[in-house]
Amino acid sequence: MDRSAVRTRRRGRLLPGLVARLLGRAEEEAGPAPRRANPDAVVDCAVYVAGRREPGRPHYADAYDRARRTRRAFVWLGLHEPGPAVMAAVGRTFGLDELAVAQALADGHRPTVQRHGEVTLLVLRTAGYVEHTELTATSEVIDTGDVMVFLGDRFALTVRHGATGALTPVREDVQRRPGVLAEGPWAVAYAVCARMVDLYLEVAGHLERDLERVEESVFARDRDADIQHIYQLKREVVEFKRAVLPLQAPMRALLEQRGEGPPPALHRWFADVESRLTRAVDRIGAYDELLNSILQSRLAQLAVEQNNDMRKIAAWAAIAATQTAVAGVYGMNFAHMPELGWRYGYAGALLLMATAAVTLHRLFRRSGWL
């Protein structure tokens, strides 16, 4: 081999090392690469490996890349009312289609389970009780929102709209249960469903106390209940009912799915959620029927009160009619009328009128008209 070939081979071995040393020195002088920050709509972002949360709060794109490279790992990204730009970027990162992104930007969805390619979408309604000192015709008793859970092979994406149903307690609770989190993204779906159903039962307990107060006011002796207040509570219960009842069908569908649904280890947990959801639905249905009965009772009371008022008016009108009759007869001014020339005729007429009034008043009081 000639000397030029040897020199060429040596240069080939020396150049990569020299380039690496130069690049390393340049990186040391430039400092570490800046970390990307999550948008304001991101409530939390974490990578979970074998049911344990990894330290830090990385950018959602970096977290998803890490989750895909790590065995038994997934990323949970929580968003609250994201804007179109943020949601579009998140959709590109996690492979969501345009319809899924559009659904995540809107609120007021009906509870459902949908399939978008390899991604499962679970929509739930949130509910919260609004504290109030007294019930009025405009009182807001129930505050509702919604939360959407997108589930993929290595990610769980939660998008929440509205002030109620914060998922921070959900994350803190499920992180204390690594055995559940080890089942992957569907563990997040279970935790969110369990939290929503717990909120339904909590709101139902507050509603029960409101119903007791309304029932007491309707059947109390003084009866200070306004029918507009009862109707407002009825409207709030109907709104609550619309948020809870439609969730029954999606929950049954999740338990009946095979392959695309939750893993077998989580079936009994979802079954427990469905059982508690049924209890909440039963309570809300009972409250709705009770409110209907209270409303009908109050309407019947108003009808009775109006009838009593009409009887009182009729009784006083009859008493006044006797006075009018006597005065009208003696006011005809005919020349030949009995008692016109009597000295005590005027006093006698007044006495007759008073006697008739007292007699009629006692008769009406005895019959219950006065």
DSSP track, 105-172: H---PPPEEEEETTEEEEEEEEEEEPP-SS--TT---EEEEEEEEEE-SSEEEEEEESSS--SHHHHH
Are the CB atoms for 263 and 184 separated by under 8 Å? yes
Q: Which two tokens stand for residue 125?
A: 């309604």
Residue 243, CB-side half-sphere exposure with 13 Å CA sphere: 30
Model pLDDT, residue 269: 93
From 1.25.40, 1.10.10, 1.20.58, 1.10.357, which CATH number describes the 307-367 domain? 1.20.58
H or E, element range at 179: helix 178-181
Q: Tell me how many degrees the CA angle 129-134-139 measures, rounded to the nearest 5.
A: 55
Instruction: Give residue limits of the domains in the chain.
Output: 1-33, 42-302, 307-367
Residue 31, CB-side half-sphere exposure with 13 Å CA sphere: 2
Per DSSP, the three-state class of 227 is: helix
Distance CA 68, CA 152 (A): 11
> pLDDT tens digits, residue range 61-79?
999 999 999 999 999 999 9
> pLDDT tens digits, residue range 298-333?
777 777 777 777 878 888 888 888 878 877 777 776
Model pLDDT, residue 26: 38
Model pLDDT, residue 12: 46
| The domains spanning 42-302 and 307-367 adopt the same CATH topology | no
CA quadruple 219, 222, 228, 230: dihedral positive or negative? negative
- Burial tier of 195 (Cβ tally within 10 Å: 0-12, 13-18, 19+): buried
Packing angle of the helix pair 227-244, 185-219 (nearest 10 deg): 160
Per DSSP, the three-state class of 264 is: helix
Distance CA 116, CA 141 (A): 36
Residue 50, CB-side half-sphere exposure with 13 Å CA sphere: 2
Distance CA 257, CA 153 (A): 16
Low-confidence ranges of the chain (pLDDT < 50): 1-33
Distance CA 157, CA 181 (A): 15
- Which residues on neighbouring strands pair with residue 79, listed in sequence order? 42, 159
Model pLDDT, residue 306: 75
Model pLDDT, residue 138: 80
Are the CB atoms for 100 and 63 separated by under 8 Å? no
Largest alpha-carbon pair distance within the chain?
167
From 1.20.1050.10, 3.30.460.20, 1.10.10.10, 3.30.1440.10, which CATH number describes the 42-302 domain? 3.30.460.20
